[in-house]
């Protein structure tokens, strides 16, 4: 690809060289354009396209907020014929919403803790070392998110089938923790690479052993990155539906409850209210994660 | 620790104070041991839970179902794989791969201006706004996003309303009357499925693209300008080739996620199935786990080939 670019440069050079000879001022038009190409202002069509793209990403989510207040119960009529707050109360009193919410929270907490331990260990091992099989390990870590979720789900289902493992909260956690590891790993390894080796050496020089160095030097430096990774892992697990449908058996997490309501709705506006709650419950950890990793080289959620 | 008595200058090497010190010394002498201990738990987890499950999937795909009893016969056979090539099953595979390719291409086109603007022109506050603006939709609830599109595309929803308001309902109806991609309403057509796929996976394309564009050195753009290239030539011959690994990295996600998704086509789409739906229905209601497993192997094989190509193009550094 690069050779292609070099080859193509040659005729351009011939064409332009006379203008750029020393001593001869370049024409104004050329100078201005060269400037624009490097820093300058963005071309108007690009600005419009970029902003339109961002709006495309955000408007649909905002729409959910409008629909939670609609008085129309059976259809998706737009614009809503009227606005009301009663659906929030109805949702609060619906008995079937609460158990899935508790289960989702429980699963997300356990999976996050597991992913934090496993992801951090992995990042600690891989941050500055090189060893045989390193590339294979990094492939193994990203595989659960690089392959479609249905593969993870179907594989786990086959394994439970082969080994006669009954479905439970534990089987849901098995799947969730597996794909949450990479999120913690990404955040932790970026921070490990930024921590100077010298502070670890200084700690050893002052007589601290490996555990003391970990407790008093490494952990405080890793803290915010781990918290960010944990927040994102929590959001990912709280929201996961594809793997969960294969591993949950009869239990339902909040996303599974929502999926059932989407396929066979009982009260449509209740689904809208739950959707808002889900949006808020996932936005808060994401914003915290962004705040914690701001300014660094780290990409809090690169790759999901 | 710090108040070590100054009177014993000979003690340059500190005395060992307990088990923790002994273990630390061992780690110091044998760094590979520490490495192995750190890697053991995560590798055990991924190896047993994940690779073990994949192996179980592979194993099941070589079994077949007995046509009379409906039970799985645990004997090695290629019969289940042969079933994938039946016209009705093969159609599902072709349909899914075509959709994944269309979604990936469209995502690359729509993502480029956003990624390019964020990488080249956005500074300071705007940069953060763009980052959050892509991150929030990426991480916000998948089901909520799909649901929002159900509201938008439904027969009585916002799109029909907008077309009616503009007096352009005829255009919408003409599009919906198209064979294959059309349908009764947008929410039961392939156009709807395509739009939702594009929407949901778009951020996965933007982020790696932006990362790749940010790594294009400014000096190269200056060099290109110094050599007299127009901004279009610079774009075509300098920026685009250097952004390619980012595009490929993004396409890994958009392509793979479309191959496996079964919820979007279930909620928004026609009755013609995709691979994910086939897997879900076969293992659930139909109880044909071997065929479901064989179907699930299709995206795995496609993605392994895809990942191998992507790796050769250097896309892994952009992930």
Mean pLDDT of B144-167: 85
Mean pLDDT taken over chain B: 86
Choice between A13 and B8, residue whose per-residue pLDDT is larger: B8
pLDDT of res. B11: 53
Distance (Å, whole) CA A242 – CA A233: 16
Which residue among B114, B128, B244 places its CB closest to the CB of A50?
B114
Which chain B residues have a beta carbon less than 8 Å from that of A163?
56
Phi/psi of residue A83, each to 5°?
-120, 140
Alpha helices in chain A (DSSP H): 2-16, 28-38, 44-67, 86-93, 98-126, 134-146, 149-163, 169-194, 197-205, 210-213, 219-239, 242-247, 254-263, 268-293
Distance (Å, whole) CA A19 – CA A36: 18
Which chain A residues have a beta carbon less than 8 Å from that of B257?
148-149
Nearest residue of B to residue A35, measured between CA atoms: B225
In this prediction, what percent of chain B has a pLDDT beyond 70? 94
- Residue B201 scores a pLDDT above 90: yes
Nearest residue of B to residue A116, measured between CA atoms: B42
Mean pLDDT of B83-105: 93
Choice between B109 and A266, residue whose per-residue pLDDT is larger: B109
* Structure token pair of residue A188: 């932790």
pLDDT of res. A283: 83
Question: How near does any CA of chain B get to the CA of A189, in Å?
Answer: 14
Does B140 contact A283 at a Cβ distance shorter than 8 Å?
yes
pLDDT digits (tens, 9 = 90+) for A226-277: 998 998 899 889 988 989 998 888 888 999 998 888 888 777 788 888 888 8
Question: How near does any CA of chain B get to the CA of A76, in Å?
Answer: 6
Choice between A33 and B232, residue whose per-residue pLDDT is larger: B232
Does A38 contact B218 at a Cβ distance shorter than 8 Å?
yes
Instruction: Note if the bond before A79 is cis, omega within 30 degrees.
Output: yes
Does B110 contact A56 at a Cβ distance shorter than 8 Å?
yes
pLDDT of res. A33: 44
Which chain A residues have a beta carbon less than 8 Å from that of B259?
148
Mean pLDDT of B155-181: 82
Instruction: Give yes or no for a contact between A45 and B123, defined as CB atoms under 8 angstroms apart.
Output: no
pLDDT digits (tens, 9 = 90+) for B267-285: 888 888 899 999 988 888 7
Segments of chain A with pLDDT less than 70: 1-40, 295-304
Exposure of A271 in the CB half-sphere (CA atoms within 13 A): 26
Does A151 contact B38 at a Cβ distance shorter than 8 Å?
no
Q: B200 pLDDT band (50/70/90 cuts)?
A: very high
Q: From the candidates A154, A209, A299, which should be mutated to test the interface with B, based on the most B CB atoms within 10 A? A: A154
Question: Quick check: ipTM above 0.90?
Answer: no
In this structure, what is the dihedral angle of CA atoms A106, A110, A111, A113, given to the nearest 10 degrees?
140
pLDDT of res. A304: 44
Which chain A residues have a beta carbon less than 8 Å from that of B45?
114, 118, 177-178, 181
User: pTM of this prediction?
Assistant: 0.82
């Amino acid at each position: 690809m690069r050779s292609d670019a070099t080859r193509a440069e040659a005729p351009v050079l011939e064409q332009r060289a006379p203008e750029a000879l020393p001593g001869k001022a370049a024409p104004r038009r050329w100078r201005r354009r060269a400037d624009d190409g490097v820093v300058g202002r963005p071309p108007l069509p690009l600005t419009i396209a970029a902003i339109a793209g961002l709006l495309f990403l955000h408007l649909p989510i905002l729409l959910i907020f409008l629909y939670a207040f609609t008085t129309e119960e059976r259809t998706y009529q737009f614009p809503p014929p009227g606005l009301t707050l009663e659906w929030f109360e109805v949702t609060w009193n619906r008995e079937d919403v609460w158990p899935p919410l508790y289960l989702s929270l429980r699963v997300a907490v356990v999976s996050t803790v597991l992913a934090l331990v496993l992801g951090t260990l992995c990042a600690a091992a891989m941050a500055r070392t090189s060893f045989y099989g390193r590339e294979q390990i990094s492939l193994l870590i990203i595989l659960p998110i690089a392959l479609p979720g249905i593969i993870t789900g179907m594989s786990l289902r086959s394994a439970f089938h082969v080994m006669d493992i009954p479905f439970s909260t534990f089987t849901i956690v098995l799947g969730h923790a597996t794909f949450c590891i990479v999120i913690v790993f990404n955040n932790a390894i970026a921070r490990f690479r930024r921590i100077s080796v010298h502070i670890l050496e200084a700690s050893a020089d002052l007589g601290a052993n490996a555990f003391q160095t970990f407790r008093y030097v490494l952990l405080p430096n890793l803290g915010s990155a781990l918290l960010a990774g944990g927040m994102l892992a929590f959001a990912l697990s709280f929201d996961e539906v594809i793997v969960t449908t294969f591993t949950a058996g009869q239990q339902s997490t909040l996303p599974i409850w929502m999926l059932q309501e989407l396929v066979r709705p009982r009260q449509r506006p209740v689904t809208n209210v739950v959707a808002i709650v889900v949006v808020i419950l996932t936005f808060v950890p994401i914003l915290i994660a962004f705040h914690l990793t701001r300014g660094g080289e780290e990409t809090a959620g690169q790759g999901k | 620790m710090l108040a070590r008595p100054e009177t014993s200058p000979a003690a340059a090497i500190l005395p060992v104070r307990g088990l923790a010190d002994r273990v630390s010394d061992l780690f110091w002498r044998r760094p590979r041991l520490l490495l192995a201990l750190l890697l053991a738990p995560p590798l055990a987890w991924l190896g047993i839970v994940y690779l073990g499950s994949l192996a179980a999937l592979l194993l099941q795909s070589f079994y077949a179902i007995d046509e009379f009893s409906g039970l799985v016969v645990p004997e090695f056979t290629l019969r289940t794989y042969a079933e994938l090539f039946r016209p009705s099953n093969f159609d599902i595979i072709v349909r899914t791969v075509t959709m994944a390719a269309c979604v990936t291409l469209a995502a690359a086109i729509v993502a480029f201006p956003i990624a390019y603007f964020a990488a080249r022109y956005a500074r300071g506050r705007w940069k953060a706004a763009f980052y959050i603006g892509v991150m929030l939709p990426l991480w916000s609830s998948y089901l909520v996003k799909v649901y929002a599109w159900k509201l938008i595309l439904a027969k009585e929803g916002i799109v029909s309303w907008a077309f009616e308001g503009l007096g352009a309902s005829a255009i919408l109806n003409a599009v919906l009357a198209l064979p294959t991609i059309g349908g009764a309403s947008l929410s039961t057509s392939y156009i709807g499925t395509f739009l939702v796929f594009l929407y949901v996976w778009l951020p996965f394309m933007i982020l790696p693209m932006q990362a790749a564009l940010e790594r294009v050195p400014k000096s190269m753009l200056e060099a290109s300008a110094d050599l007299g290239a127009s901004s279009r030539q610079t774009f075509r011959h300098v920026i685009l080739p250097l952004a390619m690994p980012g595009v490929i990295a993004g396409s890994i996600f958009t392509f793979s996620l479309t191959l496996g998704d079964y919820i979007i086509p279930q909620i928004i789409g026609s009755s013609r199935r995709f691979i994910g739906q086939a897997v879900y229905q076969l293992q659930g209601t139909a109880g044909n786990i071997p065929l479901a497993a064989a179907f699930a192997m299709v995206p795995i094989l496609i993605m392994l080939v895809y990942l191998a190509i992507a790796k050769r193009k250097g896309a892994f550094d952009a992930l």
